[in-house]
Amino acid sequence: MAAAIQMTSRADWSENLAQAEEWIELAARRGAELVGLPENFAFLGDEAEKVAQAATLAQVTEKFLKTQAQRFQVTLMGGGFPVPAGPDKVLNRALLVTPDGQVAASYDKVHLFDVNLPDGNTYQESGTVLAGRAYPPVVDAGDLGHLGLSICYDVRFPELYRHLAQQGAEVLFIPAAFTAFTGKDHWQVLLQARAIENTAYVLAPAQVGSHTARRQTHGHALIVDPWGVVLADAGDHPGLAIAEINPKRLAQVRLQMPALSHRVFL
């Protein structure tokens, strides 16, 4: 079983992590062995404050992920959260932690959300975030499958997920803080597209609701199967999307629709 957690994170990191712990515990109690937390789960507030607190946030968040993974014996993905990258920038980093509390992989978000939306909101992620420079990793998690990492805005760049598929990914993590404006039209269809074209499961934790005066997120944390079927949807309140990741189903879909082996342009 896998769980995609949905949260309404704000500027108080201690409160955010306390809420995250409650959802991780609930997911584990419901049988989840693979658990994902959304982008900005530890902090979602003023950008200057994020940079000022980055050293503390990086330290407490990594320790939190290791402790929770070990405590509840789950493979835990948290992403992303700020990690210092100079005097006025941070990296937006996702970590994958094993049940023994070890970091199996990290990924620094490469595609930054610099967008002027028709609703009047402007997002300039590159103002405080330094883009990563490397493809996300794929991790062999045994019975849980081969796990590929990404973060939020990455979902609009299919070449990244094709690379993950070429590296053997069977489950694609897409943790997000998708805006309410874009989410209503694009979130689900993008996740289904990434699942279908790569015949892979998609695990997409999400932020939901109001975080600051001008920041609202779409919610609807989803788990999507390799055929594009939505297996679980957390709706528009904090909660869980939880569903089975079935290796037999994955193998069946890849046998029925062997598109990955039919690629002409590599």
Which one of 50, 62, 66, 152 is the catalytic residue?
152
Residue 152 is among the residues annotated as catalytic for this protein: yes
Q: Structure tokens of 29? A: 């109690």
Residues whose CB is less than 8 angstroms from the CB of residue 10 and which lie 6 or more positions away in sequence, other chains included = 16, 44, 45, 211, 212
Question: What's the CA gap between 107 and 172, in Å, rounded?
Answer: 13
Sign for the CA dihedral angle at 149, 140, 220, 194 comes to: positive
Tell which residue, 204, 189, 195, has the closest CA to residue 243: 204
Which one of 33, 39, 62, 170 is the catalytic residue?
39
Question: What's the CA gap between 76 and 157, in Å, rounded?
Answer: 24
Q: Long-range contacts: 19-25, Cβ < 8 Å, 24+? A: 19/238, 20/64, 20/68, 21/64, 21/68, 23/238, 23/239, 23/240, 24/68, 24/72, 24/74, 24/76, 25/72
List, in sequence order, every residue forming a beta bridge with 204; answer none if it has no partner: 222
Q: Structure tokens of 6? A: 């949905």
Residue 184 is among the residues annotated as catalytic for this protein: no
Q: Would you tell me the crossing angle of helices 180-197 and 158-166 to the nearest 10 degrees? A: 30
Residue 39 is among the residues annotated as catalytic for this protein: yes
DSSP-derived pairing of the beta strands 222-224 and 201-204: antiparallel
Residues marked active site are found at 39, 109, 152
